[in-house]
Structure 1
């Protein structure tokens, strides 16, 4: 984004730049003041919203705690009832005794609870005595073990809540306290889940969320937001409430319920506050726009006076761009200010450039042409090929097959190497040149290393720069296999194939390898001849920075070089590279 703005600023004319600078300089204090006031007002509104939320959630926590205490007191009154204690502690000898217990103790006491508190759905007494089950009022202790609250209540010494948001269930359980008690007995009250938290979903009319957590367990959640993206997924409620991610979009207040160990969270979107600041922001924008219009009118005349000399200088530059450097610029009267000095220096620069082109550039071009011609004169391909042909014929007549093969390989190698002075070569010819070189090296090394090649015919017709692959092979032999210290025969593998629309060459050896320190700087190290840095530079000048060489190596195990180039039927900038690289000599890296 920053680069795009700078590019746009550079491309507009100077008069617009002057106007823009003046407008920005004039608007900056107004804009800064407006932003400061807007930020202060928004902060004030956010703090006011936080205060309102804090008071609301504190009151909601008090009401909820009072309701929980009511439930606890209700079940404690039953659990501490002496008649209930006796009823679950005695041993019944007949059903009539049980009937009297139901009629005189259990049913009257349990019937009054729903009448006094509408949140109670049912009450159940779980006993380990021989008291038979009686509807939902009396159950055996084995039935209690099946209830979800049992694992918590069995270790509790006071009334304990069990809340399940997934099942919309709320239970309050308590052990029976009695001096007559010899066995474990429990009292459980099933509460209406929605009525327990009925006041929490009415804290605001809309656009809020309220959550009740027991540690990381969500006991209750209510979300009423106008935008779907503000809704918190169920699986992320605990993590996001306890983290910092909500601060970006919400105002959140937390209130503890210490008696239960629960936490009550109330959140509201920041948009509820920001929406109230839109009138203020609109006023600031109107003031800024008005100042911009006034400054534009005032700076228009000023910019016209300043820009006139620059426009004259621009016309002279455009004239040189259209007609070339060797033109006569119209005479001008230069002022003594900075723009006048710039115009005078431009005229002087044009005159000096014309002189330099005539005296230096042309001389350098001629020098390069002479050097190329001198280098070409040193090599007479016709004489060289005839000599190799004669050697080959003599070797065949003498029955010297290895000498004949060497002469043929040298002929093929130098034919593709010289390539008639053309830096562009087909992948197939470059491959043939490299294979010829390897076979020559095999003979020179008395076949002390093993050579494997794998060539994909589909890459044959594409073009690449001349003498790219052969120096990589030469490095593998001279600096890798020749310095091998571990026992065994050397191995050299080369391959060429298509990979994701690119040509991928691989040169792999099992030589001495390269140390990590040297491998890290292998493509940036200067060499005295045509080395890896030159290959990398040629490839990237032709095809771009995403192509070139990559290395992996392990000391005393070997080195793998990968060369990637695009598939091209012709190379760009061939004339440039013919001039730049036409007179190199192949010397491997030290």
Structure 2
């Protein structure tokens, strides 16, 4: 170690780790505290919102039920033939009094006794012979149920009465003093069953406080307000609690809405967020205290761990310096069964592994060279040479001098390209030329009984590849795939990203799945030996990600795909055109 390094002040890793650990604990406590606070606050908000929504739904159902009850009262009076005839009856005062007592008053009193809340039934009649029944002032709030029989002359100038008589009836509206008194009325036109003329107007009034119930679930002193809105016009028909004006910041309120089924009414509730989060400060203090205590405890634990781990880290640093100097003899010895003992075991085995790795790399290089030499020698196939010479002899006996010359020249060119002056790597174009020479020899032998073509991307023709990777696959087709009168062999070459893909395709006999599985594990020199030889050489040179892939359909042909690494290429269009034109 140099003197400058010794003098340099070094902060122990254990202290750095402790600082990082404390920062992590601090951030974790802050995040957990914040998340806990938000979750508790949101939980309370959700519970309160759920309670409010439940109460609003109950209020809506109660309102709907009472409105339906009043609608049934109106329908009962409207559809009662005796009641309608009594409204049209003319006669002497005594007769009309009896009619009132027997036919009209009982019909109007009966609903008052059955309906649970105070209601006011007012019948405005066109029949001047009927006795007028008046009660409290209609401009006063409802206190108890009552009924009235008045003349339509009292409302002849009212807009709502004119609308009702013109057909806009049987609906809920606020008329006269209903808005000031927080009431609503159901208005309906009465029609005579005899001549279908207007006989009067029926008005049933009820207070919103009775329709909506007590609504005590939400205290008004906390700023909660409720209102009933006409969904068509947007007019506020009734409001209870704090006023939510346009000038109020609505973002500080939780707004909930509940429609009343079968009507245009909407119940709106405005709940201040302060009400939902009124316990937030207390929760914040509790969570802050818990996080502070947690941080202090974690800080003490971190300090103790840093002290203990610092000693072992210094031993590891000493061993690293010995490795830096190229010495792998020193070993670590830590007791226990923790991470430091595992680090010691890893360091102890690393020196041995490095030596073994050096030996393995050296041995692998030797095996690679030997495999390539064996592959080169294996490709000088004596059987191919013997069969070719036998064919040449037969042609010579027949006097086929031109064919003998062609085969001899082809055989010479084939072995010259195979030997390639001892070079292992050749351009792809030379590899394809060697296959072409081999096919020319076979064409003389088999008298054009097969079809051969090449379709290679010109951009990959200059890519350097190890030699003799295509010819053994093509030769394997002639030996084992040809079963009919003719066979077609096709070689394709494409660049797929950073890969070169070469394919040898035939329409021969094909293979069964178990034969495909055993192609790279042949026991002898038969089918598969040449494929295994090519596959092993590719993997030795380029790695396990490259090599051969075989796809075959029994009775339908075989495709052998060769995967190689891609390198920059140049254009060889003229050679490819000549190859395809001359070998088909």
| Higher gyration radius (CA) | 2
Output the TM-score relative to the length of structure 2.
0.49
